[in-house]
Amino acid sequence: MAGKDDESKERKEGEKPKLSAPPPTKKSIILKNLLYVLLVALTIVGILAYLSFDPQDLSDVEGYESDSSRLPVGGRDLGAVLKDAEKNKRAVRITEEELNKYLRRTLKFEQGGWFKSFITARGAWIKLEEAGIEVIIEREIASWDRRHTVSMLLEIEQTVREDGGADTTGLKRKWGKWGRSKVINGFVMLTQPSFRALKEAYAEEIKRFWRMLGSFQIKISDGEIKLTPPEAAPLRKKS
């Protein structure tokens, strides 16, 4: 018995002590959770990027032309139309078709950056509906023969005064679309550089339009936009 006890004692003394892992710190837990969130976000972005190549059906956009090289003939200079309306306090109506033909005549839209060699910029389009103004950017990957669309919906918030004028309280970006899929504002921000370039291309018209919203009442409906100054007779739709 004594011999066995001695052997057992020697075996225990020869064994290395078991090391237990220290409990995770608060910092390591936070970093781990952030990593999971980042992986999920990247996965979602990847899926949405893929879905953006299932483009919106733009056939219902008035003034749309799949071949952007075919320029429309004639049409009003909408920059001059806004200038006259602001200066003379005139009510003005602009249709969706007019807006898109104006963009086709005046916009020099080229793809830049790393994707320039294999992505072609097709155009920018405006869709007017009661929900707001949807701005759509269309591109094409020639090697895939696939179209790609991204968009954002803008809503103008106004309060109408007693004299018929209006005070603009804000411009809200409601949501956007990658292809046909609707996305929240956070993902729209990833495509912000493209929309910023479009805004800069029409800086003068947008500045004038925004200035008019300080007093003109705006009404957006399917296919048209109306701007009415204070105490002006409302515009009637042409029959």
Task: Give the whole-angstrom CA distance, residue 152 versus residue 189.
Answer: 10
Which of 45-54, 98-107, 114-123 has the highest average model confidence (pLDDT)?
98-107
How far is the C-alpha of 236 from the C-alpha of 146, rounded, in Å?
A: 42
Q: How many residues appear in the chain?
A: 239
DSSP letter string, 39-69: HHHHHHHHHHHHHTTS----TTSTT--S-TT
Cβ atoms within 10 Å of 76's Cβ, excluding its own: 11
Tell me which H or E stretch contains 219. Answer: strand 217-221
- The set of residues, in sequence order, having a beta carbon less than 8 Å from that of 206 and lying 6+ positions away, is 199
On the question of pLDDT at 6 being above 60, the answer is no
d(CA 227, CA 211): 12
Position 78 confidence tier, pLDDT thresholds 50, 70, 90: very high
In terms of C-beta density within 10 A (0-12 exposed, 13-18 middle, 19 or more buried), how is residue 233 classed? exposed
Q: 156-192: string of b/e by CB count within 10 Å (b at 16+)? A: bebeeeeebbbebeeeeeebbbbbeeebeeebbeebe
- Portion of the chain with pLDDT greater than 90, in percent: 32
pLDDT band (50, 70, 90) for residue 88? very high
Highest mean pLDDT among 18-27, 62-71, 128-137, 179-188: 128-137
Q: Could you tell me the pTM of the whole model?
A: 0.73
d(CA 217, CA 77): 22
Q: What is the pLDDT of residue 122?
A: 84
**How far is the C-alpha of 215 from the C-alpha of 230, rounded, in Å?**
7
